[in-house]
Amino acid sequence: MGAFLTAFVICGLFGVEAWPLSGFRLFSHVRTVDRATFVAVTVDADGIEDPIPFKRLPAAYRGFGFVARALPSLSPADRLAACRVWADVAELELGRHVAEVRVYRLDITLLPRAGGRAVSQPVRTLAYGCTVDDPDASP
């Protein structure tokens, strides 16, 4: 038990994450007026985009935001694999005909606000995309 308490204190003091031991970094970083988030959209054969509502999908797919943030650090093969999974789940769970999946980064400014929402429109940047049939992906 001494080893457990020692590990508990060390993780807490130095912010080490060794789950279930934790550095307890919950909301520890300051939020600013600017924030970035990611959204994935399916594109059908006519080029019409439709966001994927991950919150309505099974829990297995709700880590989209974390995977999207990590896309630049993934290998091309891993990026493509993840993208294809999102295309597959959109077809299976949402009944969509998917020609392509695009992941956009949304840069949002939280102020000013009106009607309970931020007034300014998010700045959308294409972060990644993959087609369902074509083995190549972009960017």
Partner 1 sequence: MRRREPAPIRWLFATGDPRRLAALRIGLCATLAVRLGRDIFVELADQPSELFRPLSFMRLLPAMPSRGVALTFQIVGIAAAVFATVGLRSRLTLPVAWACGVLLIGMATSLGKVVHNDVLLLLAMVPLLVAPTGDAWSLDALRREPPGSSVRYGWPVRTAALVVAGSYFFTGFAKVVFSGPAWFASDNLRFALYASSDAQSVPNAIGLFVAGRPWLAHAVAAGVLVLELAFLIVLWRPRWAWAFVLGAAVLHLGIWTTMHLDYSAWIATVAVVLLDWPRIVDRLGTGSRPVLA
What gap in Å lies between CA 57 and CA 33, rounded to an integer? 29
Asked if 12 touches partner 1 (CB under 8 A), the answer is: yes
Q: Specify the length of the chain in residues.
A: 139
Cα 104–chain centre separation: 10
**Direct distance between the N- and C-terminal alpha carbons of the chain, in angstroms, rounded to an integer:** 51
Asked if 3 touches partner 1 (CB under 8 A), the answer is: no
Contact letters for partner 1, residues 119-138 (x by CB under 8 A): --------------------
Contact letters for partner 1, residues 58-97 (x by CB under 8 A): xxxxxx-xxx-xx-------x--xx-xx--x---------
The minimum distance between CB 109 and partner 1, in angstroms, equals 10
